[in-house]
Structure 1
Amino acid sequence: MRSYGQYCSIARALDLVGDRWTLLIVRELLLRGSCRFTDLKAGLPGIATNLLSARLKELEGVGLVGREDAPPPVATVLYTLTEDGLALEPVLKALGLWGLRLMDVERPDEVFQARWLAYAPTWFTTDADPGAPPAVIQLLASGEQAVIEIGGGEVRARVGRAADPDLILEGPPRAILGLLTGVIDLDLATRMGLTGHGRRDVLARLRPVAADPASAPSAAVR
């Protein structure tokens, strides 16, 4: 791991996490918790096995990632973030929030996974009406499924399907993620191919972190 050789906190941080793939490894461990090497590799399409091994060893060496032996029947090594590694979460959130402005185009060769559909609402939206009853939104994008659960002033999301959602949103990832995070409005999302079925008022519960309250998603779903 090479150093920038600068007495600067930004440079010092980049000495540890500035290499290609490193922050995405941290992202996966934040989203998954403790996980196997094969799970990490599956969440990082395009990374070579030897490069992932090298990056994990580097992260272990600087105290950002730890490993533990899982008991039978798993009986394998599990990788997890240390306390210092977990402290990178606000860094990833800030970077992701800044990067939303770059999400207006889906490139043909880009991969999309359900976990990425799930973390965006949790990190980038808040509950606009904490006193309202709980609500559930089912998301369907590029064959991936995620569920948003809103209630008690919190927004939680997970991979999978909901038994009886209040609202179902289906469409391309950029339409769904753009709408939820306030990057685009409902009219544009609809023109991109978004469809919605169910309670139209539920969308008003989601307030994008980066948006002014007046610009939160409209409740009208066509």
Structure 2
Amino acid sequence: MRTYGQFCGIAKALDLIGDRWTLLIVRELLALGPSRHTDLRNGLPGIASNLLVDRLRELEEAGLIRREAAPPPVATTLFTLTDRGRELDSVLRELSRWGVPLLHESPGMGTFRTHWLAQPARALTDRTPVEPPVAIQLHAEDNEDLVLEVNHGVVHTHPGRVDEPAATLTGPPKVLTALLTGGLSLHDAELEGLQLAGELDAVRRILPDR
């Protein structure tokens, strides 16, 4: 393992997680939960398979992830975060918050996966925690769906669909991202192609202050 050789918490942390792709692997496992090698490859476009293997091994040796066997009929290896690995959630949440202005300033857009909205979405706070729980479905064109569940002032996310969401937001990835990160108001997002079906009040519960 390469090391900075410094007696500093930041340097020691970067010794373990400062290599290219490492924190993005953690991002995937936080968003998706236990994942196969192919799941991680799909969420990390551009990474070489052998490099992913190396990074997973390094994270396992550092005690940040572990392997577990999926039950039949899947019968494959799953990678999951340990308690120590899940402590990086708050680190990535702050890094995501710091990077949001860079998204708004970017003239173009690279590869996108809907579950990448999990970090900024979980940073949102429901301003009406006494209201009943609701689920909001996100659909970003040709990408996988993401569910935002709002309950007791906290927003949770998971990939997939729910049968009867309180509201569904459908639109271009950049518009959905801007809406959930404060770059566009709901009105402006609709002008940019966002479609809202269902309860407007449910959507307002998860919109960031602008």
TM-score range, shorter chain: 0.7 to 0.9
Q: 1:90 and 1:75 mapped to 2: Cα distance?
A: 32
Q: Residue deviations 1:125-157, cap 9 Å, x none?
A: 111111223333222213232222323333222
What is the deviation of 1:118?
Answer: 4.2
Q: Residue deviations 1:4-56, cap 9 Å, x none?
A: 22222111111110110000111112222222222221221111001001111
Partner of 1:161: 161
Q: Does the CA-based 8 Å contact 2:65-2:79 persist in structure 1?
A: yes
Partner of 1:107: 108
Give the SS at the match of 1:142: coil
What is the deviation of 1:188?
Answer: 3.2
Give the SS at the match of 2:136: strand
- Between Structure 1 and Structure 2, how many residues are aligned? 208
Give the SS at the match of 1:116: helix
Q: Which has the larger radius of gyration?
A: 1
Gaps of 5+ in 1: 216-222
Gaps of 5+ in 2: none
Q: 1:91 and 1:40 mapped to 2: Cα distance?
A: 20
What is the deviation of 1:202?
Answer: 2.3
Judging changes above 3 Å, is the alpha-carbon distance between structure 1 residues 22 and 131 closer, same or farther for their aligned structure 2 residues?
Answer: same
Q: Does the CA-based 8 Å contact 2:92-2:119 persist in structure 1?
A: no
Q: 1:138 and 1:81 mapped to 2: Cα distance?
A: 26
What is the deviation of 1:71?
Answer: 4.7
Q: Mean Cα displacement is larger for which, 168-177 or 8-17?
A: 168-177
Q: Does the CA-based 8 Å contact 2:4-2:15 persist in structure 1?
A: yes
Give the SS at the match of 1:68: strand
| RMSD, matched Cα | 2.2
Residue 9 in 1 paired to residue 5 in 2? Answer: no
Q: Does the CA-based 8 Å contact 2:124-2:154 persist in structure 1?
A: no
Q: Does the CA-based 8 Å contact 2:93-2:120 persist in structure 1?
A: no
Residue 54 of structure 1 aligns to which amino acid in structure 2?
A: D
Q: 2:71 and 2:195 mapped to 1: Cα distance?
A: 45
Partner of 1:38: 38
Normalised by the length of structure 2, the TM-score is 0.86
Partner of 1:143: 142
Report % sequence identity.
Answer: 50
Q: 2:156 and 2:22 mapped to 1: Cα distance?
A: 26
Q: Does the CA-based 8 Å contact 1:45-1:111 persist in structure 2?
A: yes
Give the SS at the match of 2:149: strand
Q: 1:172 and 1:17 mapped to 2: Cα distance?
A: 32
Judging changes above 3 Å, is the alpha-carbon distance between structure 1 residues 32 and 197 closer, same or farther for their aligned structure 2 residues?
Answer: closer
Partner of 1:220: none
Q: Residue deviations 1:182-217, cap 9 Å, x none?
A: 233234323332232332222321253xx4xxx4xx
Q: 2:98 and 2:73 mapped to 1: Cα distance?
A: 42
Give the SS at the match of 1:115: helix
Partner of 2:130: 131
